[in-house]
Amino acid sequence: MAEKKTKDAVALLKADHRIVEELFEKYEKASGDGSKQKLAERICLELSVHAKIEEEIFYPACEGKVDEELLKEAYVEHDGAKILIAEIEAGEPSDEFYDAKVKVLSEQVEHHVTEEEQRIEGIFAQARKAGLDMDALGEQLAARKAELTATYKKSGLPTPELTTIGA
């Protein structure tokens, strides 16, 4: 990245959302199995890293500061996404339900992103209002994101680590 200054936490997480939305749009337009698979793998990587840095760093910082129900729903939504991600990772574009899985994942992510980004009521807005140190969190998120991206690229995505299913 050419930027010198680290993004604050919300800017970093929102930028991730935009990247994934763009990839989903490209997937919709893609035709060949090869390009579909590449895009799907990129989506799975981006989302896996993103969910993990939120669950490791951002959501815990929101505890007690953001509406508890909303935060709990966010964890469950992440787990739903992780299950579909694992399915997509294990499959290939010629599979009967592959496109449908990518589509449903995009719809679930869209809903989840709204809950995070919604003005005033959203997780990010509540966290900012509560005075979280977004610069410090942004640095932590960026560092962990770089680390996880490198690991996942090297050794593949982990089997889904579900936070709420069965809990």
Residues that bind Fe ion (CB under 5 A): 13, 54, 116
CB of 137 to Fe ion, least distance (A): 13
**What is the Cα–Cα distance from 105 to 113, expressed in whole angstroms?**
12
CB of 13 to Fe ion, least distance (A): 5
Q: What share of the chain is helix, strand, coil (3-state, %, to 5)?
A: 75, 0, 25
Nearer to Fe ion, 18 or 153 (CB): 18
CB of 54 to Fe ion, least distance (A): 5
**What is the Cα–Cα distance from 12 to 165, expressed in whole angstroms?**
27
Nearer to Fe ion, 93 or 122 (CB): 122
Nearer to Fe ion, 33 or 72 (CB): 72
Determine the 3-state secondary structure of 116 from DSSP: helix
Q: Which residue's beta carbon is nearest to the bound Fe ion?
A: 54
